[in-house]
Amino acid sequence: MMPLTPMMPAVDVIIVNWNAGAQLAACVDSIRNYGAPYVAQTIVVDNGSSDGSTLAVAQYADTTLLLTGENLGFGRACNRGAALARSNYLLFLNPDAALYPELVFVVHNCLISVERLFDLVHDFHLSRVFWHNQLA
């Protein structure tokens, strides 16, 4: 796996939880096991769960747990998690999903490739505008 460099921004993973039971801990464990070195932080936004699903992840020092106290709905909870994020990229992951080896590496490299493509298109457009203005 390629090491993280300053030119390769990290990913913050945001999980919205509502009574996901043991699936939440399994999801966070998969991030802890397979997210390095690309996952900078894991943010769990709990939408007022009553099943104790947050107890296990509350013990993880590398996981931020935001307890909303009520069910805000998926979209609002995602926004709350995104407000805590610090990385260039966000991965919204459902608690019944998991990361697997190399997954974040592949997705991260795709994002970097798309970002570079946009930079190239932007630079090409600017050069065309420059030359057009020079000829006018």
| pLDDT for the residue numbered 1 | 44
- Rounded to an integer, the average pLDDT of 26-50 is 95
pLDDT digits (tens, 9 = 90+) for 68-110: 999 999 999 999 999 999 998 899 999 999 999 888 888 878 8
pLDDT digits (tens, 9 = 90+) for 110-119: 877 877 777 7
Cα 28 to Cα 35: distance, rounded to the nearest angstrom: 10
| pLDDT for the residue numbered 115 | 76
Which percentage of the chain shows pLDDT scores above 90? 60
Architecture of domain 11-100: Alpha-Beta Complex (3.90)
Which percentage of the chain shows pLDDT scores above 70? 82
CA angle at 108 for the pair 79 and 4, rounded to the nearest 5°: 110
| pLDDT for the residue numbered 116 | 76
Cα 93 to Cα 26: distance, rounded to the nearest angstrom: 12
pLDDT digits (tens, 9 = 90+) for 23-36: 999 999 999 999 98
**pLDDT at 131 exceeding the cut of 70:** no
For the chain, the domains span 11-100
**pLDDT at 5 exceeding the cut of 70:** no
Cα 54 to Cα 48: distance, rounded to the nearest angstrom: 10
